[in-house]
Amino acid sequence: MLIKNKIKTSYLASFILSVSFLLAFLLDAKAQSSAMEPGVMTEVDENPLPPGGMEGMYEYFSKNMKYPELAKEKGIEGTVVATFLVQKDGSLTDVEILRGIGGYCDEEAIRLIKSMEKWQPGKLKGEAVVTRMRIPVRFMLENSR
């Protein structure tokens, strides 16, 4: 019985240690992403803003989105998560999809972001800096609303 308890305790300790390392890694992910992309900030004093703020961005998306025909035919809905850089001059570059839904919705999300006007850049200590942003782009068919 004593040996079984020692083995259980050993497994439990290993499990707790593993979870601790995983949590430490996840909590440090923001700092690591900046280190992986020198000169690109993920945390700033003032976040970048699109024209009209975030509300203006979603209004722009709703007015300019061209729902892909394949997605309509297959009933594809969902949220595409995109990431991109807001440059010091406010231009948007390096648009990528973190999580897509297919049916050409991913490509449409990229098109929408690339077609936006310049943003107000992020600022750190009062200076404009290159900032990585992550935003959701929601695709919802008319009959689902």
Residue with tokens 């700033």: 44
Q: What is 42-77 written as a DSSP string?
A: SS-SB--B-TTHHHHHHHHHHHH----HHHHHHT--
Residue with tokens 């695709």: 139
Split at pLDDT 50, 70, 90, the class of 78 is very high
CB 77 within 8 A of CB 70: no
Nearest one of 93, 85, 98, 90 to 131, comparing CA atoms? 85
Split at pLDDT 50, 70, 90, the class of 96 is very high
Average pLDDT over residues 6-15: 42
Q: Structural domain boundaries of the chain?
A: 1-36, 38-144
Fold of 38-144: TolA/TonB C-terminal domain (3.30.2420)
What's this model's pTM, rounded to 2 decimal places?
A: 0.74
CB 82 within 8 A of CB 110: yes
Q: Does 94 score more than 90 pLDDT?
A: yes
Split at pLDDT 50, 70, 90, the class of 114 is very high
CA distance 42 to 122: 10
